[in-house]
Structure 1
Amino acid sequence: MRSYFLLVCLAVQSLMAQEPLPVVKPPLVFNPKNPHVHDPVMIKEKGVYYVFGTGKGISKLYSKDLKTWTEGKPVFDKVPEWTKTALPGFDGDIWAPDIIFHQGQFHLFYACNATPGKPNAAIGHATTPTLDPKDPRFKWTDHGKIIQSILGRDTWQAIDGTVFIDNGTAWLIFGSFWDGIKAVKLTPDLMQLKWPEEWHTIARRPSQQKPYNYGLEDSQIEGAFVYKHGDYYYLFASFDMCCRGINSNYHVVVGRSKSITGPYLDKAGYDMIDGNGTDFAIGDGKQYAALGHNSVYRIDGKDLFVAHAYSIPDDGDSKLVVWELEWDAQGWPILKR
């Protein structure tokens, strides 16, 4: 049986809206043999699409048509050396990468967590001049950690990093749970935080926990991604829980701002710093139970939404999904029907 993917796009005008949820058609780019991936990010070089995701050494897929995918070798063949001192016990399962091209190099940002579910974590950085392994210039160079969160010191978590370059200024957007999503400036070469630090909290969800409890029962936000369209910066984030197969309830929300540092408001005008966000995409409960940790790109004249979704027919396996985005009359993103 061909497995179709349905999503629900919500456009609510208030938090109490009770309008029926519109069901959309299968995505523009869909293949019943979609590969396994988690926390996907994508970039294109010389006609080839590359997708990087969570996994041992950072997983890699590549395709020329967004339909037929081939698994490539992981970025790292061993645990990054810096983690042995910074994160004793880290096992090499690298989370939630991000990839951008800047100043003649492909920059890959990645997260290492030695105590999953707690902020014993750091974000690292590696570069290569090309993604083509057949090119003699191909070589990943690891530059070590950029930022680290410490148990008992921090209520933010150094994972899920993504970089946005705004009029020449580089920002690292990162974080999950507890004190939410942060934005901090990077140096122009993207190698380290720019000092003195300029920190901004741009989104969080309410928590009833005592400081440093690090429970996962509330404040469930992560996977932030910033995308510029027109005059607005759009902050996408994933609410609720991933990584539970068909029992996941992960879904994507969005807000927008005239400034990269916020405030990011949802369609009803509520600030994401207070736990708000307009529901953007959720699973349909038939083919996919949930989806999230998305990224958005302008490639070949199209805006593409990339995420992972938990497939019900495949017992909750996490699958790659790619969908074209459109924009409504008020400038809000919608998944193309």
Structure 2
Amino acid sequence: MDHLRRGVAAALGLLLAATPAAPATADPGSPARYTNPVSADFADTFADPAVVRGDDGLWYAFGTSDPLREGEKTAHRVPISRSADLVDWTYVGDAFTADQRPSYATAGAAFWAPDVRRVGDHWVMYLTVTDTTVSADTFDTAVGAATAPTPAGPWTFVDQPVVAPRPGGGGGYLWTIDPSRFTDTDGTSYLYYGSYYGGISVTELSPDGLRAVGTPTLVAIDNKFEGSYVLRHDGWYWLFASTANCCAGPATGYSVQVGRARSPRGPFVDREGQRLDVSRAGGTPVLTQNGNRWIGTGHNAVLTDLSGQDWIAYHAIDRADPYLDEPFGVNERPMLLDRLDWVDGWPTVNGGAGPSDGPRPAPVTTARLDERFAAGLAAWRTGSGDWRVTNGVLAGQGTLTSRTGTGGDVRAEADLRLTGAREAGLRLGSTEVRVGAGRLTARDGGRTASVALPASLDLTTRHNLAIEVRGRRLVADLTPDRLGDPVAVLTTTLTGPAAGPLTLLADHGTAEFDNVSAARLYRPVRHPAPTPAVGRLLPQYSDEFTAGLDPAWQWVRRDPDATVAGGALRWPVEGTDLTGTGNTAGVLLRDAPTGNYVVETKVTLDLGEETVRNYQQAGLIAYVDDDRFARLSQVAIWNTRQVEYGYELPYAGQPVYGGSIVGTPATTTWLRLAHRIDPATGEHEFRAGSSSDGVRWTWGAVWTFPADTTPRIGLAAHGGAEPAVTAEFDYLRVYR
């Protein structure tokens, strides 16, 4: 089996060029449209992006250490870019100089996958240190940290790892990479980290966020997940994780899946109730390639615009330009941005339509009320107290009311800091939301609702208070950095509309306010993008295996051990494969109909659980030749059992193999490939789907074949002969 698959499950969850659902409504002043990749103005590649909003109201993005441009050759050491609108980005420098590193890092160490968070009155960057002085191993990875007064820096390394290198039981060191911080409503902070060798773990952090403390918990199994990102939404903890190979050039099938839990330590389960930390690991698709130019869509961060709409930042590969310079060198992975919708309670990109390629409505980053206090208090009127602006920050006590009115569904927010006030907050009409005295409190028409703030919370450092009013439902949250980990969330029903101007409040002392806005609340997407539908059966292209093998079948390297009897094709799994240049596996094929169709099989393959049985598999195949095929199989990948949608194509004189993951297999698994002809290019698009019961389907990635090819469809059972196991196919059905 191709060596790139070692420990890496190829995961898919994609859509077949479905029409994106309706976007949020932008406020006046926001850019009308944008086109991916958003990093194009300053970089050809900008992998593993993290995005934060700084105290100056601007957005900052951080990427993995790679060259930014074609031909540059020298890697930037965590490049930083800045934007006012999340669309047009400017490179502002590297976080670290060429000779800057912590004492435990070797001179040749690289810094990957930054995660940046506000902690108290400063910012902390968590990042992967690829090579440490712990051993002679060149991949004894650790999670490091650096601190800075602003997202732009200057950044200073902390001279000890947050999570030190961890020896692996099977040799080498566990992959201690891809850190992501999360702070819970009790004030406890956690760090998620890990990858294919060792899985994803979570551990508690010390109060300063610079040391792992306590005992870590495994939350996602090894050999399937990496690139974690956790947020809290609607009372659930959501673990976003990337799966499959990040960097297989034109065959990269990296994608994002999600599970949810009632605790930050899990267990996280997908939409079907499948856990992410077991051998047959679950994972609900959030983002995967859909047949346009973008493949390998993964390693995400999540941010929220001024309208309350969530967005997902991630990297992807242009399948027509997969490498930064020479073939098989650095994978070119620019930063993309797309809308993250919550449909039926679950996150999905563009309503389920996947990554965008072409003009799209842009995030709301300029609101009807959008105050940075650069012009003083000209747009405000004092109700009481004394208010002053110094260096773009408002400070005072009493009340200060905007001259700009608000009405209808609205999101209002402000960065605030209690410098002496007992309470401070925002008022919309007659509705007030305040922080202070240990609580987040809403008052409306004589009614009061409140929730406790963490006992350790320091309100003398800056926090973001946001209020969303939709109809008569109010949701308020307090966060350190607007990144989906609120330290308090309050939901209440109002007695009437929260209409009227926005007022800033500070009682019994002074408070500071900055980045004050009030925007029309986003319009949520209610309905998912369509998935492939099964129409009428085409008997002439189908076989129920009731009368021997239909003569329409054609063998490539006939396997005499494959037999048909009793309404099933029984095929002992071969100790052969199709990947690379070996091309020794048998393939059973038949011609496909013209136009659009769906092909389905039901396959039983007892792979057990937990044990290593690389890479036994059986399933569907779309096949042009031995070096151009897409294979959808239930497969054993080390200790895991997955539904892999593998893909091989010729590139730069050699075959390249990668893949994606689609759903969770059972011993009996239903598999589908939905074929579509792209009307613009004539390409053949095959979208993969799987089911563990034949009723509920998980749809994943799309792989494409050139317009001038004629893919056949069929079955395969190969990848490893030991221990002996037989795949049983109940049928092959083709539907129009």
Task: Report the TM-score range of the alignment, normalised by the length of the smaller protein.
Answer: 0.7 to 0.9
Written as runs of structure 1 = structure 2, the 5 A alignment for 1:1-337 is: 21=16, 23-25=18-20, 29-31=34-36, 34-35=39-40, 36-45=45-54, 46-55=56-65, 56-83=76-103, 86-88=104-106, 90-114=107-131, 120-132=140-152, 138-144=153-159, 145-152=161-168, 156-167=174-185, 168-194=187-213, 197-205=214-222, 219-274=223-278, 275-300=281-306, 301-316=308-323, 317-329=332-344, 331-337=345-351
Question: Gaps (5+ residues) in structure 2?
Answer: 1-11, 24-32, 66-75, 324-331, 352-736
State the distance in 2 between where 1:31 and 1:286 align: 12
| Closer/same/farther in 2, CA of residues 155 and 204 from structure 1, 3 Å limit | farther
Letter in 2 for 1:172: L
State the distance in 1 between where 2:99 and 2:142 align: 13
Does the 8 Å contact 1:266/1:278 carry over to 2? Answer: yes
State the distance in 2 between where 1:159 and 1:112 align: 8
**Secondary structure class of the residue paired with 2:333:** strand
Q: Bigger CA drift: 305-314 or 162-171?
A: 305-314
In structure 2, the partner of 1:211 is none
Letter in 2 for 1:110: L
State the distance in 2 between where 1:25 and 1:185 align: 39
State the distance in 2 between where 1:68 and 1:139 align: 23
Does the 8 Å contact 2:102/2:157 carry over to 1? Answer: no
State the distance in 1 between where 2:314 and 2:52 align: 13
Provide, for residues 33-62 of structure 1, a one-character-per-residue CA deviation record: whole Å limited to 9, x for no partner: 643210000001223111101013211111
State the distance in 1 between where 2:290 and 2:158 align: 41
Q: Bigger CA drift: 146-155 or 123-132?
A: 146-155
**Secondary structure class of the residue paired with 2:238:** strand
**TM-superposed deviation, 1:22:** 6.3
| Closer/same/farther in 2, CA of residues 265 and 69 from structure 1, 3 Å limit | same
State the distance in 1 between where 2:108 and 2:20 align: 40
Letter in 1 for 2:123: F
- Corresponding pairs, count: 296
State the distance in 1 between where 2:38 and 2:190 align: 36
Q: TM-score, normalised by structure 2?
A: 0.38
In structure 1, the partner of 2:365 is none
Provide, for residues 149-178 of structure 1, a one-character-per-residue CA deviation record: whole Å limited to 9, x for no partner: 244567632110010011210101000013
**TM-superposed deviation, 1:29:** 4.7
State the distance in 2 between where 1:24 and 1:102 align: 41
**Secondary structure class of the residue paired with 1:47:** coil
Query: Considering only aligned residues, what root-mean-square deviation do their CA atoms show, in Å?
Result: 2.5
State the distance in 1 between where 2:123 and 2:19 align: 35
Letter in 2 for 1:297: L
Displacement over 4 Å in runs of 4+: 26-29, 151-155
| Closer/same/farther in 2, CA of residues 321 and 294 from structure 1, 3 Å limit | same
Q: TM-score, normalised by structure 1?
A: 0.80
Percent identity between matched residues is 29
**Secondary structure class of the residue paired with 2:81:** strand
**TM-superposed deviation, 1:32:** 5.4
**TM-superposed deviation, 1:230:** 1.1
Letter in 2 for 1:23: A
**Secondary structure class of the residue paired with 1:67:** coil
In structure 1, the partner of 2:73 is none
State the distance in 2 between where 1:286 and 1:98 align: 29
| Closer/same/farther in 2, CA of residues 272 and 33 from structure 1, 3 Å limit | closer
Letter in 2 for 1:53: G
